[in-house]
Structure 1
Amino acid sequence: MHDYRNFLPEELAADASFRRWILFHDPVEEAFWLEWLELNADKNTLVDEAKALLTAATQAFDQISDEEVANELYRLSHAIGTKTVKRPFLRIPFRPQWYHMAASVLILMVGGWWLNGQTATRQKSEQYRQILSQISEPLIEVENTGVKAKVITLEDGSSILLQPKSKITYPSRFEGARREVFLTGEAFFEVAKNPHQPFYVYASTLATKVLGTSFKVSAFDGDKDVKVVVKTGKVSVFPMTKEDVEKQHSNDKLVGMVLTPNQQIVFAAKELRLTRSLVEDPKLLELPIQRQSFEFKGTPITEVFATLEKSYGVKIIYDAEVMQNCYLTASLSDEPLFEKINLICRTIGAEYEQLDASIIITSKGC
């Protein structure tokens, strides 16, 4: 007997017993599921979502051709290693129960992703409202209806540059364990450092946690993605799910996906996907030391890469042993970072790519 309590909606919708009850009104299955619901009344939402998914599958059934079903059965048979279904090049007359099963698989695969995305987005929206409702201090709401950015100064000394068509909500005083603000639209934050009272920005489906730094958040209503770009310091970004929020609130350190200067993250809420990368034009860090020189004369490539890493705060990954005989003579003072990297690679016969906010150098040596 399956433990249906731990099922996801798409898993329940794909269950044979559940389908016989919903789609074919089987009296035996109906008796079982009605009794199960009496014993598991807290799972009504799960059953309702699975029903909705099956209803959507039924409505879309006529849009799937026999050939599409046959192709999907072929793909699935290879995926599980049976390889018992031949790939169809012409329409194949399936037995009705096979056809319905394959069509359900096709719809459930697509519908499951849709339902997961909708459920996750709804949960995060509810989490947004719940966090907002728990703030006891009086709230201030500022909406920028003009055409120029508006500067807002918070009581802790932090400042916000609010862009047009954007709105920020925040308490008049930060009295609790956290400093929390709520953003719709785009804003640049300069956060006053206070390690004992972390600063949170809740924006649509994504939350950002910082101790003291500067960064930009873009989360307009209607946009599919939320974007965070870091200028100075470190931030932690995480989806606004109940579990992630609780984890962050209970930890004084930055956990989750951490961003450093010249890094950005794009969160696709529907797929719950976080993609980290370097910003398009990384800037020199404001280091408390003399301005770094990019004049190289017979300099080992390891020193060149170390200089760039320190100056831009980026990670450059390469094989030091393979490139131990590579040296660089060049003046790279004014070029943007990626142009510097491109010139270096052309000079020493290497190639580069960007992966997860790092620069990967590949070379056969010099």
Structure 2
Amino acid sequence: MKYKNYSVDDFLKDDFFVRWVKAPDQQSNKFWDKWLASHPEKTETLLHAKQIILSFKYTHTGELLDEEYAEIFENILKDQPEKPLLLYQIRNQLKSSFTKKLVAAAALVLIISGALLWQYMQNKLTVKDSVQQANYITKTNPKGIKSTLKLSDGSSVRLNAETSIYFPEKFSDSQRVVYLKGEAYFEVAEDNRRPFTVVSGDVETTVLGTEFNVSAYPGENEVKIAVAEGRVKVNEKTSGKDPAFSYILLPYEMATLRFDRQEFKKTRLESAEIFGWKEGIIHFQKASFEEVVTLLERWYGVKFMVGDQKKTMEGKFTGKFENQTLKEVLEAVSFSWEFSFEIKNKVVTIK
């Protein structure tokens, strides 16, 4: 069975998963981090299984022979094989053993009893609960389209073009986690009991209630998190190792993260231009020709045909456009790089 189809019970029975939880190493951490990034819908199931395994911690204070283990547990389980065990039953049936044997056996029995009790409670879950746990929603904007959506906690999310967000229909009682590819502006409803976390590749952005922007497009080496209001924590998504970066951002501060160069920094925003996209404002600040083309393709839902002319497009472009047409923007850009263009059937040909 593939991991993507695993239930909590399947993970508990998987030796590779259990070894990772009990004794993580660099190789297993890398595997599960990569797998979870590719299957974010299994996060809750995997974490549930991990918590159960970690809760089974005990101190082994004695040793029993295999024959003695078998005799003790056969006597304990034979009366009520399908019901959770009670502590007084365990104590009464083990009291005839030596003290050293009783301590070791009781510790192991508590583990078995806990597992049986958990399984019993799982069987009591209603169909409705199971459906709610697995009910996730994916919202995707193609190029040229922006949208706004409301989450179950009252938070508002504005999605930029070519952006995808994955989130549960209803958040759990302990946390609020969404997964983002692209760019979005979040207005998070305050909830001191449940942190709100945006996972974007290897970056986690966590808040309680604030407004901030996350730009993390696949294929681009740079991730930017900028805060408009409140307080945000930004750190590398890790498992069992120290993060490469961890920042606390205040209003008008921004974290810029480049994994290809291992460059991570926090800067002060001089203006609110980075938030302007949600108001229909395009802002170029010393942008290369490739950066201008990438943004315009995404913004207007078009395809550029450039050819060899790209080699001659040197220098940087700075400009601001508010709710203007593609033709108006290209006229300004073409003046700086001295080219002509044609727009036909969603294709821009640079001449």
TM-score by length of 2: 0.41
